[in-house]
Structure 1
Amino acid sequence: MSLESSSGAIPLAEENKTIKADAVVASDGTGDFTSLQDAINAVPNNRTKYYYIYIKKGIYKEVITVPRNKDYIYLVGENEATTVLTYDNYASRLKPDGSEYGTSGSASFFVHGNNFVAENITFENTAGIDAGQALAINIGGARSSFRNCRFSGHQDTWYAGNGTYQYVKDCYIEGSVDFIFGGSTAFFDHCQLESTRNGYITAASTPEGQTYGYVFHHCTLTARPEIAKSSVYLGRPWRPNAKVVFVECAMDKHIQQAGWHNWRNPDNEKTAFYAEYKSTGAGARIDTRVSWSHQLTMEEAKSFTYEKVIGDQHPKFVEEKIQIN
């Protein structure tokens, strides 16, 4: 029996119904702005309804920030593979003032506004596999949603802060070490997690007392062809109370037979909650998982559905087509 969840979308819109974009960004000069940051800066502060920004295909190399007073921004790219928001900062890189960017400051894209939505966009950090920590996105806004997006990087690709909520649907996330990390509540729905070398997929830092950390629902865990068998862990606890659950996910042979790592601290085994329900594929070696992880029963798995974890805690997607003229 499969444990299904709602899609998180509103009912399908009437045929041919559209929404006119409030602003269009185009690198070739055919829109209202050539810079996405300029378009975001022009959004009125303290909105209570969506402001739609359509981004035409192109490579936009700029560090982009959605400020705290810019709520309800809805970004729609022309195509997730060719609408690319990119930069190449990394943690040890020096700023003009001589200080380092640091891990959290290395992101190509920062989300501080609440009720942020993005669709059909690549968020990318091109610092490279040997650069160390280099975030593609840093999410600090309370609630956000992503659909059909790509998050590309290596170490620490995707980060979201404590007390925040994310719904991530039909997305692709790649990285090498701890490439999904932080203390948020996040529900990853039908996503692909691609490992770019041996390492760790998650490094959750779930705060003590928080009900959920990361839940991966019907996701596919893949790796580059050169990645060795049994060389990638599902996760290790960045903080002692890390919570990560994989529900009906397909795991390729690169997944470590042990499944989980204690970050060289046996005490973490007493506080971290790492679990799976009906994992499949060559990496789903239930009999060899560490003893301190959990294989959920069907009844236990019902606590990790979309409705329970994230249902009313994220901005909903619209199904209307975004019209640009």
Structure 2
Amino acid sequence: MSELIKEEDEPDKNIQANAVVAADGTVDFTTVQAAINAAPNNRKTYFYIYIKKGAYKEVITISKNKDYIYLYGEDAAYTILIFDNYAKRLRPDGSEFGTSGSASFFANGDFFVAENLTFENTAGIDAGQALAINIGGARSSFRNCRFLGHQDTWYAGNGTFQYLRDCFIEGSVDFIFGGSTAFFDECHMQSTRNGYITAASTPENQLYGYVFQKCKIIAYPTVAEGSVYLGRPWRPHAKVVFLQPNLGKHIRKEGWHNWGNAANETTAFYAEYNSTGEGASPSTRVAWSRQLTTEQATSFTYEKVIGSQHPGFIEDDITITPK
């Protein structure tokens, strides 16, 4: 599943998209949802959707019967999937959307891949919980994608697997959360104010939670020095590991928070390995976190954490092109 995708019958050619989306009406689909709906159900091969530059304001859902959807944006910074729901907002029937229901994008199909896209929730910094993406599909991969929001930006459910390469995630409070196994490979995480980067809810019997490899942890210039925690446990057995991160000065010296419950200190697994940057401070971290040895860090490699559990990307010398 982790091997790169290449068309065997046309090894030296680009992949022509099955569907193309453009907001200006110059192609068959003006909304991303319509293009997804056009994909046959229960596929076993990829349905490639090329999305041209534009801001697509719609709540988008990839349903459980829509496996093997591959979304490919023209430009990550200018191909934006956007909405502004939030947890306390009322639906037409008077009920609240709730945290999980507030997402701009719902990825429930298996073997989902996205490249060169921005997933954004614009509800605002004071809106409370407002997801940019809710991932329920078993396996998914993201390359060169941006996830923008504030509280609870990026969520993935228990028992799911995600691989993120060269991605950017922005938020304030618990902006990477949930119970999945996720490997963040050379990504950027940016805090928009004081708060917490992660709020893992790793199930007790799950071997891995979040692993961040060579990621850069940054913040808005307005975020105060020493005001952001690396994480707090949404559930007692949260697992989060930072391998060779570059940490900005906004990271608190103690590093981790117990969510106001000392019992979590005996069950959560929080660790770092060879942290650098102004926010690196191994000697001042909370006593119940870990500084891994080189040997211990080998237990959290890409191959061991996620290698066979996520769908692959198209090869670097191939692109998906519009019809």
Q: What is the TM-score of this pair, normalised by structure 1? A: 0.96
User: Would you say the 8 A contact 2:3–2:311 is kept in 1?
Assistant: no
- 2:65 aligns with 69
Deviation string 1:149-206 (CA, Å, 9 cap, x unpaired) is: 0000000000000000000100000000000000000000000000000000000000
Following superposition, the deviation at residue 17 of structure 1 comes to 2.0
User: Would you say the 8 A contact 2:49–2:70 is kept in 1?
Assistant: yes
1:45 equivalenced with 2:36 (yes/no): no
- 1:112 aligns with 108
Q: Per the alignment, in what secondary structure is the counterpart of residue 262 of structure 2?
A: coil
- 1:81 aligns with 77
1:196 equivalenced with 2:192 (yes/no): yes
User: What is the alpha-carbon distance in structure 2 between the residues aligned to residue 148 and residue 189 of structure 1?
Assistant: 11
Task: Give, as a single letter, the amino acid of the residue that structure 2 aligns with 1:73.
Answer: I
1:163 equivalenced with 2:176 (yes/no): no
Deviation string 1:303-325 (CA, Å, 9 cap, x unpaired) is: 10100000000000012211212
User: What is the alpha-carbon distance in structure 2 between the residues aligned to residue 93 and residue 101 of structure 1?
Assistant: 6
Q: Per the alignment, in what secondary structure is the counterpart of residue 296 of structure 2?
A: helix
User: Would you say the 8 A contact 1:145–1:168 is kept in 2?
Assistant: yes
- 2:290 aligns with 294
Q: Residue 60 of structure 1: which of 53, 56, 68 is its match?
A: 56
User: Would you say the 8 A contact 2:194–2:224 is kept in 1?
Assistant: yes
User: Would you say the 8 A contact 1:137–1:159 is kept in 2?
Assistant: yes
- 1:321 aligns with 319
1:96 equivalenced with 2:92 (yes/no): yes
User: Would you say the 8 A contact 2:103–2:133 is kept in 1?
Assistant: yes
Structure 1's 174 and 45: CA in aligned 2 closer, same or farther, altered over 3 A? same
Following superposition, the deviation at residue 34 of structure 1 comes to 0.1
Q: Residue 270 of structure 2: which of 252, 271, 274 is its match?
A: 274
Following superposition, the deviation at residue 10 of structure 1 comes to 2.5
Percent of pairs with identical residues: 71
User: What is the alpha-carbon distance in structure 2 between the residues aligned to residue 188 and residue 12 of structure 1?
Assistant: 24
Following superposition, the deviation at residue 32 of structure 1 comes to 1.6
Following superposition, the deviation at residue 15 of structure 1 comes to 8.4
Q: Residue 176 of structure 1: which of 172, 175, 183 is its match?
A: 172
Which runs of structure 1 show a deviation greater than 3 angstroms over 4 or more consecutive aligned residues? 11-16
Alignment of 1:143-292 (within 5 A): 143-292=139-288
For these two proteins, the number of residue pairs brought into alignment is 318
CA root-mean-square deviation: 1.3
User: Would you say the 8 A contact 1:9–1:318 is kept in 2?
Assistant: no
Q: Per the alignment, in what secondary structure is the counterpart of residue 134 of structure 1?
A: coil
Structure 1's 283 and 68: CA in aligned 2 closer, same or farther, altered over 3 A? same
Following superposition, the deviation at residue 11 of structure 1 comes to 8.4
Alignment of 1:119-134 (within 5 A): 119-134=115-130
User: What is the alpha-carbon distance in structure 1 between the residues aligned to residue 178 and residue 319 of structure 2?
Assistant: 33
Q: What is the TM-score of this pair, normalised by structure 2? A: 0.97
User: Would you say the 8 A contact 2:105–2:134 is kept in 1?
Assistant: yes
Deviation string 1:278-312 (CA, Å, 9 cap, x unpaired) is: 00000000110000000000000001010000000
Structure 2, unpaired ranges of 5+: none
Structure 1, unpaired ranges of 5+: 1-7
- 1:10 aligns with 4
1:312 equivalenced with 2:273 (yes/no): no
Deviation string 1:240-275 (CA, Å, 9 cap, x unpaired) is: 000000000000100010000000000000000000
User: What is the alpha-carbon distance in structure 1 between the residues aligned to residue 194 and residue 3 of structure 2?
Assistant: 35
Q: Per the alignment, in what secondary structure is the counterpart of residue 287 of structure 1?
A: helix
Following superposition, the deviation at residue 9 of structure 1 comes to 5.9
User: What is the alpha-carbon distance in structure 1 between the residues aligned to residue 11 and residue 274 of structure 2?
Assistant: 38
User: What is the alpha-carbon distance in structure 2 between the residues aligned to residue 184 and residue 300 of structure 1?
Assistant: 22
User: What is the alpha-carbon distance in structure 1 between the residues aligned to residue 62 and residue 182 of structure 2?
Assistant: 20
User: What is the alpha-carbon distance in structure 2 between the residues aligned to residue 243 and residue 183 of structure 1?
Assistant: 9
